[in-house]
Amino acid sequence: MLDICLLGTGGMMPLPRRHLTSLMVRCSGSTLLIDCGEGTQTAIREKGWSFKPIDTILLTHFHADHIAGLPGLFLTMGNADRTEPVTVIGPKGIERVIAAVRVIAPELPFEIRTVAIETIEASFRVGELIVDAYHVFHRIPCYGYRITLPRAGRFDRAKADANGVPMAYWSRLQKGEIIEAEDRLYTPDMVLGEARKGLTVTYNTDTRPTDLIRKYADHADLFICEGMYGEPDKLDKARGYRHMTMQEAAVLAAEAEVGELWLTHYSPATTRPEQFMNEIRAIFPRTVASRDGQSAELLFEGGKAGESE
């Protein structure tokens, strides 16, 4: 199960009732955060989720509205007696940003590890999750992220027999364990059928539409994408600042055939994003004009995806 919360939906600056765009993902006790603008710790508190288990933070890029909440979040995690290290993944230059953050929030009781993405595409394992980073097109280096919770194949007794796997190992292999026996190495694929469809969430803000977005959003269960402006005549402005209109996000969602599109990162001037939904849903019907705190439980097929706010 993936527990997803879009903590805020604002772009550029926090507003009294709109936090900056940030995504929180919970999976099996591990918590991952994408972007951390000013006020993200307050948004987490309002949602009632815990910041203490956040072990990985993915940063799309280094504009202040995506990173200025880090010192306060780290300080509060420290005050909550976190001692386990936190890993921050982001574009090249991440060490310099974290060094600056540590000037503002020194003396933390946990280590901050940094991972710089230096390629157009990159892939990481974070607990049970696979995180794919892909370069998007903004004014400074910026990445989108796809988060996948893979799902193993079903137990296949015939395959286990054919591979000569002793019955005593079946259960452990089925759970993903690798077993080194005296005579042989046993791996899960020896007892499992083909991998089944997992869960995928794709997130990008601060970018023009690109082919790589189409690739990583392809058939995602949930596609979270900026919709900075809703008015069709703002397209030139979006092009100039390298942002995306709601129309463009909906076209991407349709092309990638995603399950659902959540719009976010609204311009401060876009006070009522839902006013554009008639037009946007004509392009992609399953579009949500997200509000702060919007959340969903994504379940494997056969389960039911619940949504709550």
Instruction: Point out the residues that are catalytic.
Output: 65
Residue 37 or 230: the one with the smaller Cβ distance to a second copy is 37
Q: Which residues of 59-97 are buried (b: 16+ CB within 10 A; e: fewer)?
A: bbbbbebbbbbbbbbbbbbeeeebeeebbbbbbeebeeb
Applying CB under 8 A, among 1, 3, 46, 283 the residue interacting with a second copy is: 46
Applying CB under 8 A, among 13, 162, 178, 195 the residue interacting with a second copy is: 13
If you count them, how many residues does the chain have?
309
Shortest Å distance, C-beta 53 to a second copy = 17
Our finding on whether 103 is near a second copy (CB under 8 A) is: yes
Residue 214 or 291: the one with the smaller Cβ distance to a second copy is 291
Our finding on whether 15 is near a second copy (CB under 8 A) is: yes
Q: Considering only 71-79, 206-214, 215-223, 293-301, which stretch makes contact with a second copy by CB under 8 A?
A: 71-79
Q: Considering only 75-83, 111-119, 172-180, 246-254, which stretch makes contact with a second copy by CB under 8 A?
A: 75-83
| CA 135 centroid distance within chain | 14
Shortest Å distance, C-beta 15 to a second copy = 7
Number of residues that bind a second copy (CB under 8 A): 32
Return the residues of window 116-175 that contact a second copy according to CB under 8 A. none
Our finding on whether 229 is near a second copy (CB under 8 A) is: no
Applying CB under 8 A, among 1, 30, 42, 218 the residue interacting with a second copy is: 42
Our finding on whether 75 is near a second copy (CB under 8 A) is: yes
- Judge contact between 66 and 58, C-beta under 8 A: no
Our finding on whether 198 is near a second copy (CB under 8 A) is: no
Q: Considering only 13-21, 119-127, 214-222, 235-243, which stretch makes contact with a second copy by CB under 8 A?
A: 13-21
Applying CB under 8 A, among 92, 96, 154, 219 the residue interacting with a second copy is: 96
Shortest Å distance, C-beta 224 to a second copy = 22
CA-closest candidate to residue 10, choices 2, 1, 20, 25:
20
Pairing of strands 2-8, 121-126: unpaired
Q: Considering only 101-109, 190-198, 283-291, 301-309, which stretch makes contact with a second copy by CB under 8 A?
A: 101-109
Residue 132 or 206: the one with the smaller Cβ distance to a second copy is 206
Residues lying near a second copy in the complex (CB under 8 A) are found at 12-16, 37-39, 41-42, 45-46, 62, 64-65, 67-69, 71-72, 74-76, 79, 96-97, 99-101, 103-105
